[in-house]
């Protein structure tokens, strides 16, 4: 169990450091970033769907005696992420940048990301409580999703009037809230299996929602055949990465 704790802590730290992806954006011209961001998004789609259907859901079904309840929890996860996105605007696209109330939008990014990262910490912690390979798979899926999201959020903060240094620092502080989610799970480690049973299917639903409702529509905006082929290949790579991790189990 101690090994699981160490892996979980290191994984959450790594995920939190992904918020520094904003630094990466500073070294790239905007046209270059726009040219290749679709690859990150495509990888995230494959990883999120792969982790949900290949790792999270099968893991819960193995220990669950009620598949109907598991299915309901997956749907609840989808609805939770839908509601949070509806009212907190987790994923900020072009229309937010044009919002006349620009500073409130920047604050909303930080608050909503804090909630999101807290849940990420819970999901990663619960995954490692179930098994180390499952935790690794979930961490990879979260990272691949966080990269494009953090780059987008960093851009929104800049457009909200923050300096680059302050935007980067605030984005990082929001990211380390994931540690609170992890500590929440570790404190309740005595009922880790119960936590896994409830949170993993909800996480799976959230991953499915993010991939299908947020990321895939972004990919659909690209009509060029060359880019579409690269998108499909990147999605497949993301899925195959999740398949490859099953051999570690």
Domain that holds residue 203: 2-248
Task: Please give the pLDDT value at position 79.
Answer: 92
Question: 28-50: per-residue pLDDT in tens?
Answer: 665 665 677 788 788 888 888 99
Both tokens of residue 21?
A: 């992806």
Question: 157-182: per-residue pLDDT in tens?
Answer: 776 677 777 877 887 888 888 898 88
Asked if residues 206 and 78 have their Cβ atoms less than 8 Å apart, the reply is: yes
Is residue 92 pLDDT above 50, yes or no?
Answer: no
Task: Please give the pLDDT value at position 42.
Answer: 87
Distance, in Å, from the CA atom of 74 to the CA atom of 67, rounded to the nearest integer, reads 11
% of the chain residues with pLDDT over 90: 13
Distance, in Å, from the CA atom of 122 to the CA atom of 233, rounded to the nearest integer, reads 31
Q: Over the chain, what is the mean pLDDT?
A: 78
The CA-based diameter of the chain, rounded to the nearest angstrom, is 53
**148: exposed, middle or buried (Cβ count in 10 Å: 0-12, 13-18, 19+):** buried
Distance, in Å, from the CA atom of 211 to the CA atom of 68, rounded to the nearest integer, reads 23
Task: Please give the pLDDT value at position 72.
Answer: 96
Task: Please give the pLDDT value at position 71.
Answer: 95
Distance, in Å, from the CA atom of 149 to the CA atom of 193, rounded to the nearest integer, reads 30
Task: Please give the pLDDT value at position 94.
Answer: 46
What pLDDT band is residue 97 in, cutting at 50, 70 and 90? Answer: very low
Number of domains in the chain: 1
Task: Please give the pLDDT value at position 73.
Answer: 94
């Amino acid at each position: 169990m101690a090994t699981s704790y160490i892996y979980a802590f290191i994984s959450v730290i790594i995920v939190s450091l992904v918020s520094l992806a904003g630094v990466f954006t500073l070294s790239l011209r905007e046209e270059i970033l726009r040219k290749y961001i679709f690859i990150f998004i495509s990888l995230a789609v494959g990883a999120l769907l792969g982790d949900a259907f290949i790792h999270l859901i099968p893991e819960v079904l193995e220990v669950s005696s009620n598949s109907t309840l598991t299915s309901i929890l997956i749907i609840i996860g989808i609805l939770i992420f839908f509601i949070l996105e509806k009212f907190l605007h987790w994923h900020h696209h072009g229309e937010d940048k044009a919002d006349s109330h620009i500073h409130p939008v920047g604050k909303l990014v930080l608050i909503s990301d804090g909630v999101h990262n807290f849940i990420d910490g819970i999901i990663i912690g619960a995954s490692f409580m179930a098994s180390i390979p499952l935790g690794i798979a979930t961490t990879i899926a979260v990272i691949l999703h966080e990269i494009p999201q953090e780059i987008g959020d960093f851009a929104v903060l800049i457009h909200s009037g923050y300096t680059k240094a302050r935007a980067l620092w605030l984005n990082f502080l929001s990211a380390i809230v994931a540690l609170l989610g992890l500590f929440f799970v570790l404190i309740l480690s005595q009922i880790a299996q119960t936590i896994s049973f409830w949170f993993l299917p909800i996480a799976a639903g959230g991953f499915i929602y993010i991939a299908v409702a947020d990321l895939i529509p972004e990919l659909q905006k690209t009509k060029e055949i060359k880019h579409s082929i690269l998108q499909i290949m990147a999605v497949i790579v993301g899925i195959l990465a999740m398949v490859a991790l099953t051999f570690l189990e």
